[in-house]
C-alpha cells in the first residue's frame, strides 16, 4: 500500500483554513494554538512511518489520555472497574452532567469526562504516586522518555474546570468517588495536559493495533482480551455524541481530544494520528475527521 502517496493526497485535498470549526477556548491555554496547524503520522505494524505537515509538533492530547488512563486502571482494577463505570455509548456531549444524575452517579463509559474521572479516582487509590506512575506508564507504552505533562495547560484547566468539578462532586455524593475531590481533579487535569506529537501518538497507540504488545520489544503489556475491549470502547464511545458518525465515516476504533488530535487504529495494520485544532460543535477536529475518512476510503482499510 502506498501510504505516503495517499497521505500526500490527503494533505492536498484538505485546506484547513477553508474548513469550519473553532479552536477550544474554555481551556485558555489551548486558545493560544494556531488554528492552521495540520499534521498526520501513520505507523504500520511492519515498522514503516508516513507523515506530513506539523506531525512532529507537540500538542495537548486532552481526552485521548482517557484511553491510556483506562488501560492502566484495568491492570489494577480488572472487572471491578465495571461496577463503577458502564460500557455504553452516552449519546451526550463529553462533559454532560444530565445522565449522571438519573443513573445514580455511574458514568456511561470511561471515555467521557465523568468516566475518566472515576478511572482517575481508582488510579489514585491504587498508586503511591499517581502522577509519576501514570507518566511512567505512558512513557513505557510510547517507548519515549521525553513525554511529559504541560503544567501550564493543567493549571489553565484547573482554574476553569468548574464543569468537571461539578461532576466529581455529584459522583462523590453518590459514593462513586473515593478520594479527595481536588486530588482527583488535579490528577485528571494532568493526564489531559500530556503533550505529544502525531508521531508520538501514533507510536503510542501501536499497542492497540498490536493486541496489547509493544511494537519495539513485543512485550505484552495489555492482555489480548483487554485490548479487544478497549478498542471496542474506542469504537463505540471514542467520539461522544459523534461516535456513530465517526464509525460511519471512518470505520476504525479511535479517540479524539479538544486539543484537536485524533488517533485511530486498524488492528494488525497501522496506527494513525492527525492534528488540526479547529473543532466541530461536538468537540472533534473537523480536518482530522475528514483526513481519516479519506484515509479509510482511499485504502479500503476500515474494520467494516
Ligand atoms: N480536559 C478536557 C475536559 O475535561 C478534555 C475534554 C476532551 O478532550 N474532550 O474538558
- The tens digit of pLDDT for each residue in 133-153 reads 999 999 999 999 999 999 999
Q: Which atom of ligand 1 is nearest to the CA of 283?
A: 9
Instruction: Please tell me whether residues 9 and 86 are part of one structural domain.
Output: no
* Averaged pLDDT, 272-299: 97
Ligand 1 lined by 71 (C-beta under 6 Å)? no
Read off the pTM. Answer: 0.98
Q: Do residues 149 and 181 share a domain?
A: yes
Summarize pLDDT for 211-258 with one digit per residue, the tens: 999 999 999 999 999 999 999 999 999 999 999 999 999 999 999 999
| Residue 220 DSSP label | B
Q: For a ligand 1 pocket test, name from 63, 167, 189, 234 the mutation site with the most ligand atoms within 8 angstroms of its C-beta.
A: 63
Domain span at residue 293 reads 3-60+197-299
CATH number at residue 39: 3.40.710.10
Tell me the three state secondary structure of residue 49.
strand
The answer to whether position 304 is within a domain reads no
Question: Which atom of ligand 1 is nearest the CA belonging to 189?
Answer: 1
168 CB less than 6 Å from ligand 1?
no
Averaged pLDDT, 199-211: 98
The C-alpha cell that represents 127 in the structure block: 498508586
| 40 CB-near residues (< 8 Å, 6+ apart) | 7, 10, 11, 51, 52, 53, 55, 198, 272, 273, 274, 275, 291
Burial of 282 (0-12, 13-18, 19+ CB in 10 A): middle
Same domain, yes or no: 86 and 128: yes
Q: What is the number of structural domains in the chain?
A: 2
Q: Are residues 185 and 72 in the same domain?
A: yes
Q: Are residues 106 and 137 in the same domain?
A: yes
Specify if 16 maps to a domain: yes
β-sheet bridge partners, residue 217 = none
Tell me, in angstroms, the distance from the centre of ligand 1 to residue 90's CA: 15
Please say which residue of 132, 160, 194 terminates a domain. Answer: 194
* Residue 178 Cα to ligand 1 middle (Å): 22
Amino acid at each position: 500500500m502506498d501510504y505516503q502517496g495517499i497521505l500526500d493526497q490527503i494533505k492536498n485535498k484538505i485546506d484547513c483554513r477553508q474548513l469550519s470549526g473553532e479552536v477550544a477556548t474554555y481551556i485558555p491555554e489551548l486558545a493560544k494554538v494556531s488554528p492552521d496547524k495540520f499534521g498526520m503520522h501513520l505507523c504500520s505494524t511492519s515498522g514503516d512511518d508516513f507523515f506530513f505537515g506539523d506531525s512532529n509538533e507537540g500538542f495537548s492530547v486532552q481526552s485521548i489520555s482517557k484511553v491510556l488512563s483506562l488501560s492502566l486502571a484495568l491492570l489494577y482494577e480488572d472487572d471491578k472497574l465495571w461496577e463503577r463505570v458502564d460500557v455504553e455509548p452516552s449519546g451526550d456531549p463529553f462533559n454532560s452532567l444530565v445522565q449522571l444524575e438519573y443513573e445514580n452517579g455511574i458514568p456511561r463509559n470511561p471515555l467521557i469526562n465523568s468516566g475518566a474521572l472515576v478511572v482517575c479516582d481508582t488510579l489514585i487509590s491504587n498508586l503511591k504516586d499517581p502522577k509519576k506512575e501514570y507518566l511512567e506508564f505512558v512513557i513505557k507504552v510510547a517507548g519515549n522518555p521525553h513525554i511529559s505533562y504541560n503544567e501550564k495547560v493543567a493549571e489553565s484547566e484547573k482554574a476553569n474546570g468548574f464543569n468537571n468539578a461539578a461532576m466529581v462532586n455529584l459522583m462523590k455524593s453518590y459514593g462513586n468517588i473515593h478520594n479527595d475531590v481536588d486530588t482527583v481533579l488535579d490528577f485528571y487535569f494532568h493526564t489531559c495536559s500530556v503533550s505529544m506529537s502525531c508521531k508520538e501518538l501514533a507510536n503510542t497507540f501501536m499497542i492497540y493495533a498490536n493486541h496489547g504488545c509493544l511494537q519495539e520489544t513485543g512485550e505484552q503489556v495489555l492482555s489480548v482480551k483487554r485490548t479487544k475491549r478497549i478498542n471496542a470502547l474506542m469504537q463505540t464511545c471514542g467520539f461522544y455524541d459523534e461516535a456513530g458518525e465517526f464509525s460511519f465515516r471512518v470505520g476504525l476504533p479511535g479517540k479524539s481530544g479538544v486539543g484537536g488530535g485524533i488517533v485511530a487504529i486498524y488492528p494488525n495494520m497501522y496506527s494513525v494520528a492527525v492534528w488540526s485544532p479547529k473543532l466541530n460543535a461536538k468537540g472533534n477536529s473537523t480536518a482530522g475527521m475528514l483526513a481519516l475518512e479519506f484515509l479509510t476510503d482511499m485504502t479500503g482499510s476500515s474494520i467494516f
